[in-house]
A and B are shown apart, each in its own frame.
Chain A
Amino acid sequence: MPSVISTILAKIEAGKDLPDEFENLLPGTYEIKSEWTGVYNCIAFAANETHRKWWPVPFDEGRKDRYWPEGAPRTEKLKSFVRAFEICGGYRPCDDDQLENGIEKVAIFMRGSKPTHMARQLLDGKWVSKLGDKQDIHHNSLHEVEGRIYGTVVRILCRDVVSAT
C-alpha cells in the first residue's frame, strides 16, 4: 500500500503545481526553482542551508526536531529570529528592502504575534522563498508571499556581503 505522501506527490506532479495558497503570487511574478521537499524550510533557506530545518521550538520535547543557533532564544518571537540571524550570519536590522550593492538582506514575516516565514534577497534584487515543504521560488517582491499564510513583512535584516560567514 503506497504511503500517503507518495499518493499526494503523484497527484500533484511534484514540482509542477502552482503554490495556490498564496493569493498575491500571480503568474509572471515568480519562478519555481525546486520540487517539494521536507528536508529544509524557509528559515534554513534564508540562512543559505538546505540540509536541515530551523525553528525555535519552545518546549524541550521537540527541540531535537529543529536546529536553532545556540544562544538565540527558543521562543516564537521576532527577537528570537533577529538574534538567531545576528549570531549565525552577522545580520543587523536595516531600514528597507531595496537592493543595495554589497548588502545581503533577509525579511521576516509575521502573522499575528508570531513569525511565520523568511525570505532572502538575491543579487538581482529578487527574493527567494522556500514555501514550507513546497517549492523554492524566486519572486519579484516581498509582497508576493504576503497574505493569509505568512502575514506581512515586519523586519528587514542585512549584512555586508564581504563579511558574510
Chain B
Amino acid sequence: MPVSTPSTEAVQARVTVADTQVAEHRVTRPSTLSFGDVTVTFGSNPQASPASRSEIPTEIRRQFSEMAERWYLDTMPLSSYVERILHPAYQKILVLGKRTVPLIMDEIRDMPNDWFWALRMLTDVDPVEAGDAGNMQAMANAWLRWWEVSGPEWQQRNGL
C-alpha cells in the first residue's frame, strides 16, 4: 500500500501546531515551595501562542472558572492560609499560567481574597506595601492600581 508523503508545508504546519501545544502547557521558570512534607511546584506560561494574544482562550476561561469555583467553595470556611493556597484547585490555576491574571483581577475587584500569592507567582511583581500585611482591601487596591497603570505593558511584554 503506497504511503503518501506529506508536503513540506503540511509538515511545517503540524510542527508549528505541536510547538504551540507544547508551549501552551509548558511551565517555565518552575519554582518549588516546601512546606512540611508537601512540596508544591508552580510556574507560569509566558509563551502564549500568537493566536491567543488578543484575548483569553475560552478553554482557559472555562478551566479557571471551574477551578476558582471549586477553590472558593472548598476553602470558604477555612482560616488557614496554608490550606487555602495549597488547595489543588488553586495550584491548578497557577499551572494555567499568566493568561489567568486578568481573570484574577476581576475576582479581587469584586471581593478581595487570597489571590495575591498567585499574582506574585504569575507576574513576578509585588506592589503591596509591607505595612498592609493582611489588609485584604489595601492589597487588592494595590494590585488593581498596578494593573491599571502597568497591566497593558506587562501583558504586551509577556505576549498576552
Contacts and interface: CB of A to CB of B under 8 A. Distances in A.
B72 to A, nearest CB: 6
A21 B65 CA distance: 22
Nearest to A55: B81
Interface residues of B, number: 40
A114 B83 CA distance: 11
A39 B117 contact: no
Given A54-B134, A64-B126, A116-B78, A59 B33 contact: yes
A162 interface: no
Interface in A23-43: 36-43
B81 A3 contact: no
B69 A4 contact: yes
Contact of A8 (B72, B79, B106, B135): B72
Interface stretch (A83-91, A98-106, A127-135): A127-135
Contacts of B126: 64
A85 B14 CA distance: 62
A58 B35 CA distance: 8
Contacts of A132: 75-79
A116 B80 contact: yes
B29 to A, nearest CB: 15
A4 B82 contact: no
Interface residues of A, number: 48
A122 B111 CA distance: 29
B133 A52 contact: yes
A44 B126 CA distance: 24
Contacts of B79: 41-43, 53, 55, 116-117, 130, 132
Given A64-B126, A65-B114, A53 B136 contact: yes
B47 to A, nearest CB: 24
Interface of B: 33, 35, 61, 64-65, 68-69, 72-73, 75-82, 85, 103, 106-107, 109-114, 116-117, 120, 126, 128, 130, 132-137, 139
Interface of A: 1-9, 19, 21-22, 36-44, 51-55, 57-59, 61-68, 76, 114-117, 130-134, 149
